[in-house]
Amino acid sequence: MLISGMSGNEIFCLAQKGLFPGEIAVGNSVRSMGFGGSLGASFKSMTTGEIGAITQLISEGRHAAIGRMEEEAKRHGAIGVTGVISELRTLAGYTEFLSQGTGVHVQNPQQGNSFFSTSASGIELYCHLDAGYQPVKFVMGNVAYALGIGGGLMGSLRTMAQGEVTEYSQLYNGIRHLALQRLQEEAAALGANSVVDIRLDMLPFGPAGTIELLMTGTASYNARLSPGRVPPEQVVTSELTGEELWNLAKLGFAPQRLVMATSVYSLGVAAGIGTMFKSMTKGELPEVTHLVYKARENCLDLIRREAQAIGAARVVGNKLIIRELAPGLIEIIAVGTALRQLANAAPDTPQLIPQAVIQDRDMMNLGGALPFVVGARGGGAPRAFGCIIAIVAFVITIASVVTSLFLSR
């Protein structure tokens, strides 16, 4: 009796490649930095840039959990693991690194398949295999960093003027490209020439102000991209879905590199005061409109120049993300995949099967049924009502104290 989390579409797609689902596999590792490590990391977080001790701790913990997950899948007789995820959680002051996925088996055990792990779902794995991407291993590249007092002070002074805060832009750009470089190095060491299905996450960790930038993906080998081993800088990287990779291969295109850019802009003190007064009346805020537009244009220009430098034909899948770092300070992030034309990129099958493009339906949503649970969907009203009661109780308490003091006189 096997228990699998795969959908019917995933199972059908895997069957086309001679695979079928197995048991869910889990691996974990609980770790502590220790007093010395925590103290050292706290002091390091006061400076700007990477905190090496935390980067190493997280990397070792994540890799240990993945290794144990793979070993469990092998004990179940699986030849690979799909849908791999890597998470970290805090337990009693310690950090648990958790990895899990679903084992896959081969219908003909005599084929002698090499064991693999991939972040792709069953559907995406079908698309990868059909487009020539043989999965090797789930890989990652991470950087734990802090803005620190130095960067924070300099950046704070710069935010008094309107425009780009180059200190912040350079810091974030450098960190993202460093994580990508580590991802490529890990893939190249395994003999892979590509990393597909890349995911980028920014996660808080440990000391206040410490952030982990995590990139994960599937190291793969595609003989159509390049024969044999390649150096890390030539490892192809892409955040496109399996379906997108298949369709682009059908059109004669292959991914070349994940391209990224970050621009941090400040509204400035003078513009901020002016905008504050203008916001009291209805209408457009020209300073804010122009600032955000300029930041986006700068990001796209950086992406364009990076793609041109590697001789890419075009950039697809562009995503523009905006977030507020602090009042009046915004960060624009642009991410896309640079493509190149490839003569022999065509997939194995002439047509992508319907099961590979059907979206699986999510039939369970328990959030609305738990309105009084903190963090559950629909819990906003009870929490707001609780806040109102607390405020009323506070006012009544103050009034009672004042009345008592007045009567005592």
pLDDT digits (tens, 9 = 90+) for 242-295: 999 999 999 999 999 999 999 988 877 545 545 454 555 667 777 778 888 888
pLDDT number for residue 346: 93
What are the pLDDT digits (tens) for 289-339?
A: 888 888 899 999 999 999 999 999 999 999 988 888 777 778 899 999 999
User: Quick one: CA torsion of 274, 275, 278, 282, rounded to 10 degrees?
Assistant: 170
The one-letter amino acid code at 361 reads R
pLDDT number for residue 269: 53
CB 344 within 8 Å of CB 336: no
User: Could you identify the residue written with the tokens 């328990």?
Assistant: 366
CB 135 within 8 Å of CB 120: yes
CB 245 within 8 Å of CB 133: yes
Strand partners, 101: 25
Using pLDDT thresholds of 50, 70 and 90, give the confidence band for residue 116: very high
- The candidate with the shortest Cα–Cα distance to 159, out of 333, 324, 44, is 324
Evaluate if residue 190 carries a pLDDT over 60: yes
Secondary structure (3-state) at 1: coil
Cα of 162 vs its chain's centroid, Å: 30
Per-chain mean pLDDT for the chain: 81
For a pLDDT cut of 70, what percent of the chain falls above it? 75
Domain segments of the chain as ranges? 8-363, 369-404
pLDDT number for residue 323: 83
